[in-house]
Each structure stands twice: as C-alpha cells, then as structure tokens.
Chains A and B, each alone.
Chain A
Amino acid sequence: MNRHAGQSREGAHWAVVALPYAWLLVLFALPFAIVAVISFGEAAPDRAPPVALTGTVRNYTFLFTDPLYVSAYLGSLRIAAISTMFCLLLGYPIAYAIARAPARWRPALLAAIVLPFWTSFLIRVYAWKGILSENGLLNGFLRWSGLASDPGTLIGTEWAIYFGIVYAYLPFMVLPLYATLEKLDGSLLEAAADLGATPARAFLTVTLPLSLPGVVAGCLLVFIPAVGEFIIPDMLGGTETLMIGKVLWDEFFANGDWPLASAVATLMLALLAVPIALFQRLGAARPH
C-alpha cells in the first residue's frame, strides 16, 4: 500500500517536472529542428511542401553575402536596440513612480499599463497609422495649435517604427522593472541618505544597481520580439526601412522560398542567443 502510494507520488512528481520540458520539446525544439533542417535544403516549387533536402549551405552563404540580408539583419538589431533604449528611458520612471505610489493606487496604475492588451495588437498599430499619417491626428494637432505650419510626415520613417515599437512593448519593460523596484527595501534608501548620499547619489548607488535584474529582464522582453517584429515596420515603416521580419515574410509568402526563409529564421535565433546569454550572465552575476 505504502509503496504503491509512494510510487504514484513519485510518478506525479516526475510528471510535473517533465511537463514543461515536454512542452518545450513539442512546441519549440521540434518545430525549430524542422525549420533548421529545411534551411539546409533547396526550393522545389513543384513539391509539397516545396522543399528538397539536399544538405546544402548555399542559403547561409547567400545570407552573408547578399547586402540586402546583411543590412536587414543589422537594421533589425539597430532598430530593436534603439527602441529598447527608448523603452528603458521611458519605462524606468513609470515603473519607479508606480512602485513609489501609495499602495492603494498601485493596482489601478498597473491595470492602466496592461489595459492596452485588451485591444487587438493589430488594431492598436493601425491606430498609430492614423495618428502619424500625413493628415493624421498628430499633424492635425500641430497645425491647429500653430506649433508647426508645415509639419513633416512621420509615417513611413524609422521614427514611426520607434513610436510603434515603444508604444507596443513599453508594458514589457515596465512590469519587470516595477517588480524589482517594488521589492526594494525603502530603509536602504534611508540608510544611504543617513550616510550622506543625496537622493540622486542614493539612486545611482543603491536603487539602480539593485534594480538591474529588472532592467535586464525588461530589455530582453522588449529587444527579442522587437528584432523579429513584422507588423509594426510593415504598417508604419517605409519601403527603405528593412527589417528581418519583413524580409522573412516576403521570402516565405511572396517568393515561396522555404529553405531561404528557414535560414533567415535560424540565423536570427542564433543572433539573438548571443545577447540573451550575455544579458543573463550579467543578471546572474548579481545576487538577489
């Protein structure tokens, strides 16, 4: 009896441990392996799926030598990095203010941060199109208020993409930052003040270093999806802004070149793995 109960409990224990691994295996590792294998094939439009597995590395050499792809990769990384920086500069004060707000206001303030998620992502990006376009809300306001009689057009520029990404991903920056800042023991700041630190100095020497895990988490949560972002550059950006997500889409759906599209995706993952590993090492180096 007892041994039976023990065995079934052990079984349940293993099931709990195995579940996330099974999830990752079936929904991440396996599909990725398929994509990786396809990336070593050649396009075969007459087949279904349109792939011939030849084991060639041609797709990769092509990606590294074709200036279009190289600039698309670099452009994606640059736009994602700049957007992440804007998110951090904007998100940190927001998270700090919420964490320092009276406890009874915090749930409402956090809800306000999360509230946009209740509307479809696509619709919200589309709304930015309306705001930023030639005769959109922003320019209308600028003309009406007399701040600028002949404002330029933001839509179709890289700035429009920054607006879109920062708007869409700001909650992912604010939430982890809030989580670390909210945990920060207020008596540490009092101790810093007591030992002679001005508020600015106390922020730099105590608050900022102790919130670094939140900074790292927030930056990863913004940077990674921003690199592969497709909808925002497609709807707000212009033709001259190349981002890898858009290239991947074109390769897959317009050209029907599955192997090349797979190579684009595989290389993107490899490129992202490097900053993730670096960031996580940075985060792990700090206890608490």
Chain B
Amino acid sequence: MSTDTPFLRIEGVVRRFANVAAVDGVSLDVSRGELFALLGGSGSGKTTLLRILAGFERPDSGRVLIDGEDVTDTPPWARPVNMMFQSYALFPHMTVERNIAYGLQREGLPKGEIASRVLDALAMVELAELGGRKPHQLSGGQRQRVALARALVKRPKLLLLDEPLSALDRKLRERTQFELMGLQRKLGITFVMVTHDQEEAMTMASRIAVMDRGRLAQVASPATLYGTPASRFVADFIGRSTIVEGICLATSGDAVVVRCPTLGIDATARSDTPPEVGRPVWIAVRPENVTLGVERLATAANAVAGVVSDIAYLGGSTTLHVIVDAGATLLGSMEGAPRIGRGARVWAHWPADGGALLTK
C-alpha cells in the first residue's frame, strides 16, 4: 500500500434537500490521474455529489479535500476544479474563442498567453478553424468539444464531467468515449464523471462508484463490479443477470449450497466470505454463464429444466428467457443466431463460479 494521501478525498458528505438526503454519508477516495465514474439512476445522488465537488452545493456535513487541501468552504470560482456541464452551458453571446478565453481572463493572465493557450485548446479538440463561430452555429458534437476545451484550458487539478456524452448520438458517443480517455491519459488530469449509462462507465472508468439513494452501493473496478457485485442492487444495475432467492444450506470451503425454491434445486455457488447456514441469500447468474441444451449435461454443477419463453437476437449473440419448471425466469445466452425455438424444452446449466452469492 502506498502511503500517499489520496488526491481527492470525500469524507462523510451529507446533503439534504427538504429533509430528504440526496447524498447520505458518502466517503470516497480517488487517486491522482484516475478516470473515476459515479454511476447511478436518477435520484441516486450522483449529480449532487458532483456539484458538491464543483462547489455549487455545500454539504450539510462532511468534508471535501483536493490534493490535501480542504475545499469544503471554498466557493466554486476559487477551486482548482473545472466542470463540463451536461448542457455544456456555453455562453451564447460569445464566440467559441471568447468562451474558451473566459476562464483565463478571470485569472488575469496576459493577453498573449491567453491567445496562445486558446489556440492550443482549439487545436486539442480539433476546432482550430471554428474559433470565430457562436455556439448556435455549431453541431452538438462541436459544442461538446468547446465545453471540454473551455474546462481543460484552465489546467484544472480535477475535471468534473456531468453526463459528458449524453447529448450525442450513439456513434459519436462511442468515438468520443475513446477520445476522452485518450485525452485523459495524455494530460494526466484526474477525471470524475457522472453517468447513468453503465456501458459508458464500464468502458471509460478505471473505477466506478455505484450510487443508490444517496449512498455508495459499491466502489470497484468495472471487472469486479461485473464479476462479483456486492449486492442485488449492483448485480441488477450492472449488466443483466437473473437473481434468485434461497437459503444457505451448507458451506464447505468457498463452496456454498443454496436451496432455491424458484429453481427447484439446491444450487452451488462460490463465495470468499461464505454466509452462515440458515440465512437468506441470493444467487445472481449472468446470462453468458448459462449454457443451454436439449440434453442435460452431467458435468454441470447446476442444472434446471424449463421452457424457452422469449428470444432476443442481438446480432453477436442471442438472449433466451427460460421459464424454469419451479417458477423462476432464467436468462441464458448463446453465441450467434438462435438455434432453439420458442416453446422448446431445454436444460439450463451453470458452473459453481458462474453465479455470484449475495447476502444483501
């Protein structure tokens, strides 16, 4: 473990609106140079937390430290932080150049330096020839770049991005994701972004904080979130999975046997921290871990029989909904086009480590 203090430290931050806690006791550390994502649905508190980092909201309690300095009471205009707004918030009465120069003028820099830094920023986002345009003369993608240039030209210690790509269409969004990541690596600036799009967070972020009703549900790398979700909320929010309820029957090493009434079997799962026998638990099974077949595979740790009810062909793969005889609906997937028809009787199998064991 390194002994460095974290670059961004959020300590027990609470923010209430009319007695409802939008952010309810969040503590979080972000390292220097990280691309960190706050992920959650609407009302999860992710945007409020970002606005607290920017200084637009003051926490009712708790502290925010940036690079070791307590900025909880620092107004937004004095923070070493810049934000890219979801609506971009470009000044409509100023040209692109003046928009980008605005933050540098506030620092009272000499004219020559402002001009050269504005040109550099325009070149960085590949808008060199559009400096004289007004925001309403730009496309959505160009506006997004101006907003990015305007925030980055200040050379902030921390860049906040509020749903940075939500206003772009799908193709442009995917391209811009990689551009943003490349820029972040090149500049080495710490990024904290808010998104409701789990694919975007998984693609871009080195770590993700999943937020639920003002609290952190889990903070982990994308692979950990997906593979070993900490709760049913995370398992359900990240990707797709079938979550079935059961009772822990027995444990042996990291293997846990769970009696699942809606599956009609005693399923086997693995967990590094096996629960007590007798307590209610849940198993979350990812569709890609479920193998479907007409014959029962004798080698599989878990196997249930059912009927295919729905088929969704996604191009590269097919997702099948199987109604298990005992009642549960299980998601399975197979590569390529569907080779089983609706109404077919199938066996669904998954290995012991194909299901995540959840205790909450």
**A interface vs B, CB < 8 Å?**
185, 187-188, 190-198, 201, 205-206, 209-210, 286-288
B75, A287: Cβ atoms closer than 8 Å: no
CB closest chain-B residue, reference A288: B92
Is residue B89 within 8 Å, beta carbon to beta carbon, of the partner chain?
yes
A-B complex: 4 closest residue pairs judged by Cβ atoms: A196-B106, A195-B103, A191-B89, A187-B89
Residues of B within 8 A of A192 (CB): 91, 102
Is residue B93 within 8 Å, beta carbon to beta carbon, of the partner chain?
yes
Report the stretch among B1-9, B79-87, B316-324 that lies at the interface. B79-87
Residues of B within 8 A of A196 (CB): 77-78, 103, 106-107, 154
Pick the contact of B77 from A194, A210, A287, A288 — CB < 8 Å? A194
Is residue B165 within 8 Å, beta carbon to beta carbon, of the partner chain?
no
How many B residues are at the interface, by size bracket?
A: 20 to 34
**B interface vs A, CB < 8 Å?**
54-56, 75-78, 81-83, 85, 87, 89-93, 102-103, 106-107, 134, 136, 150-151, 154
A198, B85: Cβ atoms closer than 8 Å: no
CB closest chain-B residue, reference A199: B77
A197, B77: Cβ atoms closer than 8 Å: yes
CB closest chain-A residue, reference B79: A194
A190, B77: Cβ atoms closer than 8 Å: no
A287, B89: Cβ atoms closer than 8 Å: no
A185, B89: Cβ atoms closer than 8 Å: yes
Residues of B within 8 A of A193 (CB): 55-56, 75-77
B106, A287: Cβ atoms closer than 8 Å: no
B150, A195: Cβ atoms closer than 8 Å: yes
A194, B91: Cβ atoms closer than 8 Å: no
Residues of B within 8 A of A286 (CB): 93
19 residue pairs of the A-B complex, CB under 8 angstroms, read A185-B87, A187-B87, A188-B89, A190-B54, A190-B56, A193-B55, A193-B76, A194-B56, A195-B103, A196-B77, A196-B107, A197-B77, A197-B102, A197-B106, A198-B77, A210-B93, A287-B92, A287-B93, A287-B136
CB closest chain-B residue, reference A190: B56
Residues of A within 8 A of B76 (CB): 190, 193-194
A287 to B93, CA, bound (A): 7
Give the interface centre of B78, B89, B103, B136 by most chain A CB atoms within 10 Å. B89
A197 to B106, CA, bound (A): 6
A194, B82: Cβ atoms closer than 8 Å: yes
Residues of A within 8 A of B75 (CB): 193
B93, A288: Cβ atoms closer than 8 Å: yes
Q: B76 → chain A, closest Cβ, in Å?
A: 4
A185 to B89, CA, bound (A): 8
B150, A288: Cβ atoms closer than 8 Å: no
Q: A128 → chain B, closest Cβ, in Å?
A: 39
In the complex with contacts A287-B92, A288-B93, A205-B77 CB distance below 8 A? no
Residues of A within 8 A of B103 (CB): 195-196
A195, B87: Cβ atoms closer than 8 Å: no
A192 to B91, CA, bound (A): 9
B106, A195: Cβ atoms closer than 8 Å: yes
Q: A215 → chain B, closest Cβ, in Å?
A: 13
19 further contact pairs, Cβ within 8 A, besides A195-B151, A210-B93, A287-B93: A187-B87, A187-B89, A188-B91, A190-B85, A191-B83, A192-B102, A194-B55, A194-B82, A194-B83, A194-B151, A195-B77, A195-B102, A195-B103, A195-B106, A195-B154, A197-B106, A205-B102, A209-B93, A288-B136
A54 to B332, CA, bound (A): 100
